Amino acid sequence: MKKLMLGNEAVARGAYEAGCTVASAYPGTPSTEITEAIAKQYDEIYSEWAPNEKVAMEVAIGASFGGARAICAMKHVGLNVAADPLFTVSYTGVNGGLVIMVADDPGMHSSQNEQDSRNYARASKVPMLEPSDSQECKEYVKKAFSISEQFDTPVIVRLSTRVAHSQSVVELNDKEDYKIKDYIKDAGKYVMMPAMARKRHVVVEKRMADLREYSDSSELNRVKMDSDDIGVITSGIAYQYVKEAMPNASVLKLGMVYPIPEKLIADFASKVKTLYVVEELEPFFEEQILKMGIKVIGKEKLPVIGELSSQIIAERLLGKAIIDASKQSVPVRPPVMCPGCPHRGMFYVLKKLKLNVSGDIGCYTLGALAPNESIDTCVCMGASIGVAHGMEKARGTEFGKKTVAILGDSTFIHSGITGLIDIVYNKGNSTVIILDNSITGMTGHQQNPTTGFTIKGEPTKQVDLELLCKAVGIDRVTVVDPFDIKEFEKVVKTETQIDEPSVIISQRPCALLKNVKYEGVQKINQDKCKRCRMCMKMGCPAIVDKGEHLEIDPALCVGCMLCTKVCGFGAIEKAGE
């Protein structure tokens, strides 16, 4: 049967067909739908949201040691979090097949940096495959499981946004009858203390040599000879762009991107006059091929920044001019927090109090943009707390009293909690605001340990944030509704002035949750409105300036009533039918 599937859904399907039975992940765009699809469609696979990517990988490692085929999924920055277990599971190897999915985000559609995860494969000495459409996503995941078992190694499968988030046609197959392997105690293999690890490193080097040979003969790496003039070495989504821009070129498509097939490359190079390497982001293939003494053209013509496209390839390599229609200046449309967003009241207060705000990763990062302009820093998941603490230690208590850290509930569990412990332990005074919106918002509504539900929507124990903060040694924990602006302001003022660390839990559910019911669309009574524009300071996209007067767009307003609280003239009221 043929089906249109997202690359991510096809990965899930591949795991299912391979007889995988354990999946763990932390959501991260563009990798999130892999585990969501597993949870929704394949009951044969146990699935879970882990608190962070390191835990997700450890769970998958445990499942593999236990004899099952296991998968974990994350985005590129998530692999940084999970890098610690990655480097060591490379030494232990596996029992059941272990597949690590990583989704890179060239162009940074939704990320804080643009890293090339292929470097992790080389650094950790783990083979890496890279599919270029949904059909390959499914096939390569299955292949990755068998390579994992054949070579006793974890295998990384790399996606990029355009593969993960494109739908293309997939041919479905039946599930393989995979029998869970026996669990065998083997400390020499699975306990990585120095004496054992030294021996395992030798095994890893031998494995690399075997994998190099495998790469040369694997059908994952395909040559299609066409012209003798131009040859292109490429992989992943870049392959699709090459096929579109240079339909007559000979192509060596690498499905195994680490280790690369050196003999195959040398042979291919000898058959064409000009050899190009077309790869997104880093010159990963290019440097290795140059080291082999083969002349290639790559990054001298192609960018190391951002996504490629067939037009960039045609322009840079073939010298074709891109059609350049005269572009008038069109106002940009940056993303904004949704109408009714619980964070809006909080940002209003922080801006009013002119605080230094150490921010974090989540929807609320948008608070850095106009009109809120309330976030000063944002580094990585969980960094807000450590950064605020560091600022206070550098600039002293008075500066600390003008500083708060803000981060979401899911982010706090992911890696904020350790920062909070650091503040308590090292006698900091920071005020931390946890934005508890009862869901993981930015990636599209995933459950997390603070919501009380599992990935399948089953009720489970819920982390009590208040008790948790108290347990690590924060004595002052206040729960407050960010839409109760007066109270919120009072709490923030008090807590920032106090000479001890404190936590404010800003609690109000995400406006997009189904159970959130608001009052109904509001409108501005033009007779009462004094055009003072106080309401516009909230930055709600539903309130628009029509020049002469202000208006609420009924198609956008969700009726959260926040604007009514800042209007001093009672001019905002419920819109009649």
Partner 1 sequence: MEKLNILIVGVGGQGTLLSSRILGNVALKLNFDVKVSEVHGMSQRGGSVVTYVKFGKKVYSPIIEKGEADVILAFEKLEALRCIDCLGKDGKMIINEQQIDPMPVIIGKAKYPENIIETLKENNKIYSLDALKIARECGNIKAVNIVLIGVLAKLTGINKDIFVEAIREVVPAKFLEVNLKAFEEGYNYHN
Q: From the annotation, which residues make up the binding site?
A: 529, 532, 535, 540, 557, 560, 563, 567
Rounded to whole angstroms, the Cα distance separating 28 from 448 reads 13
The DSSP line for 79-91 is HHHTHHHHHHHHH
Binds 550: which of partner 1, ligand SF4, none (CB < 5-8 Å by kind): ligand SF4
Binds 243: which of partner 1, ligand SF4, none (CB < 5-8 Å by kind): partner 1
Nearer to ligand SF4, 375 or 524 (CB): 524
Binds 266: which of partner 1, ligand SF4, none (CB < 5-8 Å by kind): none
Rounded to whole angstroms, the Cα distance separating 366 from 202 reads 48
φ, ψ of residue 11 to 5 degrees: the values are -60, -45
Helix (H, G, I), strand (E, B) or coil at 234: strand
Report, in Å, the least distance between residue 509 CB and partner 1: 14
Q: Are strands 70-75 and 98-104 parallel, antiparallel or unpaired?
A: parallel
Report, in Å, the least distance between residue 567 CB and ligand SF4: 3
**Mutual angle of helices 7-17 and 134-151, in 10-degree steps:** 40
Report, in Å, the least distance between residue 363 CB and ligand SF4: 15
Rounded to whole angstroms, the Cα distance separating 422 from 360 reads 17
DSSP structure class, residue 571? -
Nearer to partner 1, 226 or 262 (CB): 226
Binding site for partner 1 (CB under 8 A): 2-4, 29-30, 109-110, 133, 161-162, 165-169, 237, 240-241, 243-244, 309-311, 322-325, 327-328, 330-339, 363, 365-366, 369-371, 441-442, 444, 512, 536, 539, 541, 543-545, 553, 555-556
Binds 444: which of partner 1, ligand SF4, none (CB < 5-8 Å by kind): partner 1
CA angle (428, 432, 437) in 5-degree steps: 160
Residue partners of 376: CB distance under 8 A and separation at least 6: 356, 357, 358, 359
**What's the order of all strands across the beta sheet hosting 128-129?**
46-49, 22-25, 70-75, 98-104, 155-160, 128-129, 256-258
Binds 169: which of partner 1, ligand SF4, none (CB < 5-8 Å by kind): partner 1
φ, ψ of residue 258 to 5 degrees: the values are -155, 130
Binds 442: which of partner 1, ligand SF4, none (CB < 5-8 Å by kind): partner 1
Binds 567: which of partner 1, ligand SF4, none (CB < 5-8 Å by kind): ligand SF4
Residues 254, 288 contacting (CB under 8 angstroms) = no
Measured between its terminal Cα atoms, the distance across the chain in Å is: 49
Nearer to partner 1, 179 or 329 (CB): 329
Nearer to partner 1, 125 or 343 (CB): 343
Nearer to ligand SF4, 77 or 571 (CB): 571
Binds 157: which of ligand SF4, partner 1, none (CB < 5-8 Å by kind): none
Q: Which of 91, 454, 56, 164 is nearest to 22 (CA)?
A: 56
Report, in Å, the least distance between residue 302 CB and ligand SF4: 45
φ, ψ of residue 169 to 5 degrees: the values are -75, 135
DSSP structure class, residue 208? H
Question: Residue ranges for the binding site for [4Fe-4S] cluster?
Answer: 529, 532, 535, 540, 557, 560, 563, 567
Binding site for ligand SF4 (CB under 6 A): 339-340, 522, 524, 529-535, 538, 540, 542-543, 550, 552, 557-563, 566-567, 569, 571-572
Nearer to ligand SF4, 185 or 517 (CB): 517
Report, in Å, the least distance between residue 354 CB and partner 1: 19
Nearer to ligand SF4, 141 or 557 (CB): 557
Residues 72, 25 contacting (CB under 8 angstroms) = yes
